[in-house]
Every structure is written in C-alpha cells, then in structure tokens.
C-alpha cells in the first residue's frame, strides 16, 4: 500500500517564504475500534527551523499524532496548524509544504530505488532531467548509489528507511515529519541519517518533527524534546532543561537479592522524606537532593535491616533517568536497540 503523500505539480519552493511552524492545541484522538484514547489532550508548538523530538515508549501516541499533523487521519478534537494552514480546512496546502516518512514505509517493491525517487520527483512537478539529477543527489545523500538499480523488493529494512528519507526530501519540504526514522538501522546508517537531518535543519532551516524511542537520538539531535506517555505530554524542554528539571542526584543500589526489592523500597520511603524511589529488577533507584549525604543514610538503613547490596552508584541525572522517572518504563525496554 502506498502511504506516501503525493501532491501533483506546482509546489511552492523557497525556504524563507513559508511559515514552518506547527501549532497543536488540545489534540485528542480516540479510535472507535477498541475505544482506544491514543492522544489525550496534547498542546505544543514547534517553531520555524526548530528540531523537535517527540520521545515516547511503544503505544505512547507518537504515530497517531504524526498522522494527524500530516493530514492522514482526523483528530477527534483539537486544532492543528501546520505551515500556517489548518489540517482540517486546508489539508492540500499543508501537504504542499511537508515531507513525511511514516513508520510503515510505502514503496513499490517492483521499482528500483532510482525509479522510485524519479517517480516522486515527477509527482512533485520536476521535469525529466531535473528529476534524474535530483534522484542521483538524493540517493548519494542516503548512501544508496550502489543499490540504485536494484529492485526495492530486495532492499533490507535499513535500505528502505534510507530510501524513504530520500523520497521525503524530493520537494525540499519546509517541514519534515519523520516517524522513528532510525529504528532498526545499523550504526553507520543511523549516523548518515543524523548527519543529513542536522544539515537540513542548520543549512536549509527545515523544521524537523521526529519521533523516537531512543533517548540518545533525541538528546543528540533535538533543540527541544516533548516526552509523551499514554497519550499525554509529561515533559517538554531542551535536553538541558529536562535534565535540570529533574535537578536531583540519583543513587542506584544493586541488591544482592532481587526478592528484597519491596522491603528496600518501603524502607527508603519510610526513612527518607520527600524522595522519589523506584525499583527496576534488582536495582533500586533513589532520586535525592544531596547525593553524598543521603547515600550514607541509605547505606546505614540497609545495613541495619540486613539488606545486602552488591553495588552502589551515585550519578547526576541523564535523559535516560528522566524518561524512566516520567514514564515508569524500564530503561532496557525503551532504549535498547534492535541491533
């Protein structure tokens, strides 16, 4: 099934004439099937030229949001403006100014990579020669020059993702929507895509809306990150702000016996005022104001109660820790790459 957005002809070009903003107000989406509230009152803005990452675990509502913002599905309620146009009243205008790479790629397996890019160029109103030139350029950018004459049906998952990115770049969109563009890619392909996205953002001023489950991807690329969980935004800010927001040190204790987790948790909850504490397999994570001072208290308490500890670490928070704290998702399940 072809899921790319095709807009024939006359695309407005020029990086600075267009409004590359995204404005989302109180967006909700309930799927009738299964009565799933996928998006539950989301409000945010992305500025022109901003690199924005939407970070969240499986089922958080990322793809649903992207599909609404790119006019593919209708919201249940709320208001969305993309590139200065309302997605419900003016979907055609929105589509002219955006490039979209969805999580499920939609390319024709019988075409070669080169043919697919040329077809996309034709759909966007390029002439034959211009389209050929653009295909050569784009296939080079995404490292598919050598595979250009092969049928897409024989491409690996990573190659398809890279082809998909090339297709979204054909019309030099003002705003790029990328739904998990690097999921399942090998490190060098991921690096190539990161580099290209940074270049587009910096040199061309392209607004980028990227969804990811990878914290380091959001941290490394984005000016600002919105963390979404169960259809709601639970935090929003620059990577630095998010780290500062949590503002606390983290004590990680590895227990000798995982079966002691519950007892360790209630001991800390009872013994230390106003600290957040979580357990994750055999580890206990304690968010504290003054790491060194409270570390000593925790160790004393565990000693007194005979709870064995095999390792203790004190650290300042990373995005990983923030994500875990906000979503309650275990780090392994969220940040692990399928490599």
Ligand X SMILES: Nc1ncnc2c1ncn2[C@@H]1O[C@H](COP(=O)(O)OP(=O)(O)OP(=O)(O)O)[C@@H](O)[C@H]1O
Residues that bind Mg ion (CB under 5 A): 62-63, 103
Shorter beta-carbon distance to ligand X: residue 49 or 181: 181
In the complex, least distance from residue 180 CB atom to Mg ion, rounded to whole angstroms: 6
- 3-state class (DSSP) for residue 121: helix
Q: Tell me the three-class secondary structure of 143-166, residue by residue.
A: CCCCCCCCEHHHCCHHHHHHHHHH
Residue 31: contacted member of ligand X, Mg ion, none (CB under 5 to 8 Å, by partner type): ligand X
In the complex, least distance from residue 72 CB atom to Mg ion, rounded to whole angstroms: 13
Shorter beta-carbon distance to Mg ion: residue 63 or 112: 63
Shorter beta-carbon distance to Mg ion: residue 62 or 162: 62
Report the 10 Å Cβ neighbour count for 150: 14
Residue 59: contacted member of ligand X, Mg ion, none (CB under 5 to 8 Å, by partner type): ligand X
Q: What one-character-per-residue DSSP string does 218-257 give?
A: HHHH-SEEEEEETTEEEEEE-HHHHHHHH--EEEEEEES-
In the complex, least distance from residue 103 CB atom to Mg ion, rounded to whole angstroms: 5
In the complex, least distance from residue 96 CB atom to ligand X, rounded to whole angstroms: 25
In the complex, least distance from residue 65 CB atom to ligand X, rounded to whole angstroms: 7
Residue in 267, 47, 316, 31 with CA at minimum distance from that of residue 174: 47
Residue 201: contacted member of Mg ion, ligand X, none (CB under 5 to 8 Å, by partner type): none
- What's the alpha-carbon Rg for the chain, to the nearest Å? 23
CA 262 to the chain's CA centroid: 33
Shorter beta-carbon distance to ligand X: residue 38 or 264: 38
Which residues in this chain contact ligand X in the complex, by CB under 6 A? 31, 33-34, 36, 38, 56, 58-64, 103, 213
Estimate the share of the chain in helix, then strand, then coil, as percent rounded to the nearest 5.
Answer: 40, 25, 35
Shorter beta-carbon distance to ligand X: residue 11 or 36: 36
| Cα–Cα distance measured from residue 257 to residue 267, given in angstroms and rounded to the nearest whole number | 15
């Amino acid at each position: 099934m072809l899921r790319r957005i095709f807009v024939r002809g006359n695309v407005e070009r020029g990086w600075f004439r267009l409004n590359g903003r995204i404005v989302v107000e109180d967006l909700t989406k309930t799927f009738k099937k299964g009565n799933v509230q996928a998006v539950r009152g989301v409000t945010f803005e992305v500025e022109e030229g901003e690199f924005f990452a939407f970070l969240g675990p499986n089922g958080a509502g990322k793809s649903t949001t992207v599909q609404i913002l790119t006019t593919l599905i209708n919201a249940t309620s709320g208001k969305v403006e993309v590139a200065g146009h309302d997605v419900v009243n003016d979907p055609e205008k929105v589509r002219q100014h955006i490039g979209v790479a969805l999580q499920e790629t939609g390319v024709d397996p019988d075409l070669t990579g080169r043919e697919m890019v040329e077809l996309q160029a034709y759909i966007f109103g390029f002439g034959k020669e211009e389209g050929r030139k653009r295909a050569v350029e784009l296939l080079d950018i995404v490292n598919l020059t050598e595979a250009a004459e092969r049928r897409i049906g024989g491409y690996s998952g990573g190659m398809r993702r890279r082809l998909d990115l090339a297709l979204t770049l054909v019309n030099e969109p003002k705003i790029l929507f990328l739904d998990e563009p690097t999921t399942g890619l090998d490190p060098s392909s991921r690096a190539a895509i990161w580099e290209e996205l940074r270049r587009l953002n910096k040199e061309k001023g392209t607004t980028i809306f990227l969804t990811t489950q990878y914290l380091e991807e959001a941290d490394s690329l984005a000016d600002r990150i919105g963390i979404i969980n169960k259809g709601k935004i639970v935090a929003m800010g620059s990577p630095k702000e998010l780290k500062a927001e949590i503002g606390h040190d983290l004590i990680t204790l590895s227990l000798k016996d995982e079966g002691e987790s519950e007892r360790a948790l209630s001991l800390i909850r009872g013994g230390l005022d106003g600290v957040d504490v979580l357990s994750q397999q055999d580890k206990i994570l304690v968010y504290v104001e003054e790491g060194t001072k409270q570390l000593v208290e925790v160790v004393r308490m565990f000693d007194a109660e005979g709870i064995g500890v095999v390792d203790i670490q004190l650290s300042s928070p990373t995005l990983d820790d923030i994500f875990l704290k906000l979503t309650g998702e275990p780090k392994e399940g969220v940040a692990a790459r399928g490599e």
